[in-house]
Amino acid sequence: MKLYGYWRSSAAYRVRIALNLKQLTFENLPVHLVKNGGEQHSPDYKTLNPAELVPVLVDDDLSLNQSLAIIEYLDETYPQPVLLPEEPAARAKVRALALDIACDMHPLNNLRILQYLTGPLALSEQQKLDWISHWLNTGFNALEQRLKQSAGQFCFGDEVTLADLCLVPQVYNAQRFALDMSAFPTVMAVHHNCQQLAAFALAAPEQQPDAQLS
């Protein structure tokens, strides 16, 4: 398998965790999202993913974008350890937590959104940081309340699920932008428990080869 990604990409980070949890060997192919105007905009990469986003997973003849779709593919193809519960209601709740993060929180602090704010919209750096802080706080406030109802050691009970693979990269983003996380003790307790696992630690942005090239 080949994973096209970027060391700081939250979406690629999620997939790296899944691949590590399932102990799958993969080739990490960096796509630098900033250098040379962004390598994701190159003709070759646009052929691979017309959306010009990372990650993309290539597995034999399959080329798949969208991190949650990739993770569900991996979970169905390599079922141990299971990342989505078998029981339909539990499965739906885990998906909902993952989507809260991946669809409602992450896009608002994604690189291309931030570049648009300070580029065509001509917002100042401080206005950009205010935007990030507002939407991260909004998202984490809601997530904290949900996790108070669902969390054990992890987002949903005491087993790692798809939701945890989304939570850890989002906390990384928040800490990168110096968000005060003290108001979210449940979020941070789950984050701490995840970080004790090798699969999460090895997937961390600073552990990626392309981090040294940035």
Question: What is the CATH topology of the domain spanning 88-199?
Answer: Glutathione S-transferase Yfyf (Class Pi); Chain A, domain 2 (1.20.1050)
Pairing of strands 27-30, 56-59: unpaired
Pick the CATH number of 2-81 from 3.40.47.10, 3.20.20.70, 1.10.3300.10, 3.40.30.10: 3.40.30.10
Whether residue 193 contacts residue 153, with contact meaning beta carbons closer than 8 Å, is answered with: yes
Evaluate the CA torsion angle 211, 17, 14, 31 in order and state its sign: positive
- Which residue type occupies 130? D
pLDDT tens profile 191-211: 999 999 999 999 999 999 999
d(CA 54, CA 31): 8
Q: Is the pTM of this model over 0.85?
A: yes
Whether residue 150 contacts residue 93, with contact meaning beta carbons closer than 8 Å, is answered with: yes
d(CA 165, CA 81): 13
Grade residue 214 by pLDDT with cuts at 50, 70 and 90.
Answer: low
pLDDT tens profile 158-173: 999 999 999 999 999 9
